[in-house]
Amino acid sequence: MSNDPKQRIFSGMQPTGSIHLGNYLGAFRNWVKLQDEYDAIYCIVDLHAMTIDYDPVDLERARIEAAKVLLALGVDPDRSLLYAQSQVPEHAELAWILGTLTPMGVLNRMTQFKDKTSAGHASNLGLYSYPVLMAADILLYRANLVPVGDDQRQHIETTRDLAERFNNRFGDIFPIPEPYIPTTSARVMSLTDPTAKMSKSDPQIRATVGLLDDPDIIRKRIRSAVTDSDPVVRYDTEAKPGISNLLEIMAGCTGRTIDSLVVEYGDGGYGAFKDAVAEAVVEELAPVKAGYTSITNGDVRAVLRSSGDRAREMVKPYQAEVHNAVGLKAY
């Protein structure tokens, strides 16, 4: 057996909107799975959630809700840290330091800023520099691996780029992190518009399956998912984005390959296929709701408090090293 210390993973989620099947299949399922093998740090990124218009009372509710869902999914606070970003001020401090190394041109290319502002969100400095704070989240803990959905690919690229810029300028401090993205269901699409990503902020309630939705709601949403009119079940994201999305979802929930699903459901019609997808999702999510209702808000606060304390201790020596490297030695 190797005595090497475990590699570290870091990932985050924004406490905004309701947590959906895409978050689960793209990321959270891996968060739970990777806890055995890695030293895992999971963060409710409340500072990121402030970059779009929000209600302070709602933010507090959403932080607790997000942490409760993650605990219900199986994030284990005895093995992993689960805390809120604002509990560790060094996230914001490192973001400032990295910001001094970030060319405007890099941020100008970020698709998330363009998407959010063209969707009507006010542009502000926080939203513009969102990827720098995200890089700080990951680099603060010297993470090696970042389990995320496909939509975060560009942000991880920027993180790698900033780590390299920092190391080149100040010495080899940060490992260059790798994304960990699932091979199926890495980008779950909206059920009402399968050319757009399933999103927590989608105003169309029928577009998503929430992780805490009742089985009958889940069945209804999947049965009414937008598809095409040619009734053959096959994988073709251009010609059949709706059916391809349902194939991805079913493959993600059952662990089966898309090819085997096409063989089984190809000629059976959309109705039978959608019923099978719905049952697979209902079965996969059944334990989440049961776990969720057994956790109190007090339990969640206790986990956040203790993980936050541990995270603050953990980052002290790391940040001292960064301070020394950039010329901010302690007096």
Q: By CB under 6 A, name the one of 35, 80, 129, 152 that touches ligand TYM.
A: 152
Q: Is 26 in the site for ligand TYM (CB under 6 A)?
A: yes
Any contact of residue 39 with ligand TYM (CB under 6 A)?
no
Cα distance between residue 301 and residue 308, in whole Å: 10
Q: Which of 82, 138, 281, 304 binds ligand TYM (CB under 6 A)?
A: 138
| 48 vs 221 by CB, closer to ligand TYM | 48
* 10 backbone φψ class: left, alpha, beta (φ>0; ψ -120 to 50): beta
Q: What is the three-class DSSP state of 314?
A: helix
Binder among 9, 18, 22, 145 for ligand TYM (CB under 6 A):
22
Size of the site for ligand TYM (CB under 6 A): 26
Using DSSP bridges, classify how beta strands 39-44 and 81-84 pair: parallel, antiparallel or unpaired: parallel
Take residue 46 and report the two structure tokens written for it: 């409340």
116 flagged as catalytic: yes
What is the nearest approach in angstroms of ligand TYM to the Cβ of residue 263? 25
Q: Does residue 187 belong to the site contacting ligand TYM (CB under 6 A)?
A: yes
Question: 200 catalytic, yes or no?
Answer: yes
Contact between 94 and ligand TYM by CB under 6 A: the answer reads: no
* Contact with ligand TYM (CB under 6 A) among 9, 34, 44, 45: 45
46-67 burial: b if 16+ Cβ within 10 Å, else e = bbbbbbbeeeeeeeeebbbbbb
Helix (H) or strand (E) holding 315: helix 297-326
Q: Degrees (nearest 5) of the Cα angle 139, 145, 147? A: 110
Stretch that binds ligand TYM, among 147-155, 167-175, 220-228, 296-304 (CB under 6 A): 147-155
Q: Verify whether residue 289 is a known catalytic residue.
A: no
> In the complex, which residue's CB is closest to ligand TYM?
26
DSSP state of 152: G
- Residue pair 57/98 in contact (Cβ under 8 Å)? The answer is no
Based on the shown chain and the rule CB under 6 A, indicate whether residue 48 belongs to the binding site for ligand TYM. yes
Nearer residue to ligand TYM within complex by CB, 149 or 194: 149
Q: Does 241 contact ligand TYM by CB under 6 A?
A: no
Q: CA-to-CA distance for 303 and 320, rounded, in angstroms? A: 26
- Check residue 98 for interaction with ligand TYM (CB under 6 A): no
> In terms of Cα–Cα distance, which of 13, 30, 15 is closest to 179?
30
Nearer to ligand TYM, 112 or 324 (CB): 112
CB atoms within 10 A of CB 316: 10
Q: Which is nearer to ligand TYM, 137 or 303 (CB)?
A: 137
**Residue 210 phi, psi dihedral angles, 5° rounding:** -80, 150
Catalytic residue among 68, 116, 240, 274: 116
- Determine, following the binding rule CB under 6 A, whether residue 27 of this chain makes contact with ligand TYM: yes
d(CA 49, CA 322): 26
Answer yes or no whether residue 51 interacts with ligand TYM by CB under 6 A. no
Question: According to the binding rule CB under 6 A, does residue 13 interact with ligand TYM?
Answer: yes
Contacts of 26 (CB under 8 A, 6+ apart): 148, 149, 150, 151, 181, 182, 185, 186, 187, 188
CB of 130 to ligand TYM, least distance (A): 7
Catalytic positions are: 116, 197, 200
Query: Which residues of this chain interact with ligand TYM, rule CB under 6 A?
Result: 10-14, 22-23, 25-27, 45, 48, 134, 137-138, 146, 148-149, 151-152, 155, 186-188, 197-198
